[in-house]
Structure 1
Amino acid sequence: MMRRSSLRSLEVMEQLKELNKLLMAKEFQIRMQGITLLTEHCKNNPQLVSSNIIQIFDAFALRLQDSNKKVNQYALESVASMIPILKDGLNPVLVSMVTVVTDNLNSKNSGIYNAAVKVLDTMILHLDNLLLLQTFASRVRFISGRALQDITDRLSVLVAVAYPRKPQVTERHVLPVLWYFLSNMIGNGVLPGKSGNVRTVVSKLAKSLHEQMGAKLEEYVSSQSQHMSKNFRDLLDMELHIHAILGVSPNFSCLCTCPGFAPFTR
């Protein structure tokens, strides 16, 4: 029995060594072969990948930001296919993965951007939404441009799902994000140094929180600065105005644009 176990361990070590060699190769075609091999391992032996996810991701993360656009996009597309298989097996590297994926949201390459968006939406469908909410919220201060808008937009979706489960945890992670926006937004929704107008997505976030918290959120806001209170009122008014024009009722459990959206809950 011991001999059989040792042989299995050696086999795993050899598989990981070969995978790492391919992922770290100089030639981009070989790096793509490494990504293909990882995808095959996920399908055929997900336990191998889950059990060694930290070691594997150290090499694979580099392919998610590969200087070769084909490799970069292929790695992102592969992640989207791995998530439904590995699910919670990705938890040890979730923060690192979200960090790398969000960096791709500011890519000028449409294929890379679209692949990164698909990864985010696949995460929401298959991973623990409460854990995702915490991870997304922690990224807001460190991103800008389209990445900031896309993450904030999906944060408003996660609030609607996570708050009924864990209201205090949701408040602890998302209220600082709202305060950050309310205190720093100027003019018509511009964040200095962050590029782009975030008014629409921040309005969604404010309204999503308000739908869950009601008067409690208003009470919290009233204790903030006059500038923040005014921004909050303006954001709520804007969201109500948008829905009045569209002739629909606000529904913040359906903000995500991905087809067949049904957030993963426990």
Structure 2
Amino acid sequence: TVEETELLQKIYDLLTAKDFQTRMAGVALLLDLCKSSPRLISNNIVQIFDYFVLRICDYNKKVKQQALEALVSMIATLRDALKPVLIRLVEAITNNLNSKHLGIYGAAVKALEASITHIDKVLVLKEFSKRMSQLSGQALLDVTERLSVLVAHVYPRSPEVVQHYALPVLWSFLGNKVLPVRSANIRIVVVKLAKALHEAMGSKLRQHAASQPQNVMKNLSDIL
């Protein structure tokens, strides 16, 4: 309807305003509409996200934190309607996991958790796994830890997805001499991922590892 088109245009105008308080008003309006008219937002999610994702990466910390906090509620409300924008959603969340700003980091972690809880876990595992090569620091730790949780949920339903996406992440860690050299924190999450995969796959994990370089096999044996 004309009314809906005008309402969406109002959101776009607010979200792209020069004044940060106006952009914050745009985030607030979008969140209100998610709750009152979820179908309108779902039907236009790709275009809306073109504008909203800019605010998740806003240079103004207040806007960025508010957008991430709004995203947590949006994920819980819209759930699988977010599938068409999942790649950009995961990218936007993970880009904020290395923030030194506690409010922004905390909101990004909540958004990460919300995506695991409310969106199809098979798709989320795929996107997390594909994103791993771009991550470093705290973001790498946080996403690897969540990957371990997802493996347990996804393997019984879609073993081939775990083998195709999560296993290469483990091989990459084990082959990078990551365990002896890098921080103790990395070792903790890699061990957790290896054990989650072993619990899900049993002896098949070692069978898959047999086709990997020798140092990968050795590092895996040391963990298990």
Q: TM-score range by the shorter chain?
A: over 0.9
Q: Is the 8 A contact 1:145 1:196 kept in 2?
A: no
Q: Is the 8 A contact 1:140 1:148 kept in 2?
A: yes
Task: Give 2:93's aligned residue.
Answer: 101
AA aligned to 1:224 is Q
AA aligned to 1:22 is L
Aligned-pair identity in percent equals 52
User: 1:160-204: per-residue Cα shift (whole Å, max 9, x none)?
Assistant: 0000001112211111111111111345252xxxx8851111111
Task: Give 1:33's aligned residue.
Answer: 25
Q: Which structure dedicates a bigger proportion of its chain to helix?
A: 2
SS of the aligned residue for 1:105 comes to coil
Task: Give 2:107's aligned residue.
Answer: 115
**From 51, 61, 72, the counterpart of 1:69:** 61
Q: Is the 8 A contact 1:20 1:56 kept in 2?
A: yes
> Residues of 2 paired with 1:96 and 1:196: CA distance?
30
1:66 is displaced (CA, Å) by 0.6
AA aligned to 1:105 is L
SS of the aligned residue for 1:25 comes to coil
Unaligned runs of 5+ in 2: none
1:221 is displaced (CA, Å) by 1.2
Q: 1:187 to 1:152 in 2, by over 3 A?
A: closer
Q: Are 1:80 and 2:80 an aligned pair?
A: no
Task: Give 1:213's aligned residue.
Answer: 201
Q: TM-score, normalised by structure 2?
A: 0.97
User: 1:110-154: per-residue Cα shift (whole Å, max 9, x none)?
Assistant: 110000000011111111111110010011011100000000000
**Larger CA Rg, structure 1 vs 2:** 1
Q: 1:187 to 1:177 in 2, by over 3 A?
A: closer
Task: Give 2:187's aligned residue.
Answer: 199
1:222 is displaced (CA, Å) by 2.3
Larger relative contact order, structure 1 or 2 (CA cutoff 8 Å, min sep 6)? 1
Unaligned runs of 5+ in 1: 1-7, 237-266
1:172-187 equivalences under 5 Å are 172-186=164-178
> Residues of 1 paired with 2:28 and 2:179: CA distance?
48
Task: Give 2:117's aligned residue.
Answer: 125
**From 221, 233, 247, the counterpart of 2:221:** 233
User: 1:59-100: per-residue Cα shift (whole Å, max 9, x none)?
Assistant: 100100111100000000000011111011111001101001
Q: Are 1:44 and 2:32 an aligned pair?
A: no
- Alignment RMSD (CA, Å): 1.3
Q: Runs (4+) of structure 1 moved beyond 4 Å?
A: none
**From 133, 143, 152, the counterpart of 1:141:** 133
1:235 is displaced (CA, Å) by 2.4
Q: 1:189 to 1:221 in 2, by over 3 A?
A: farther
AA aligned to 2:150 is L
AA aligned to 2:81 is G
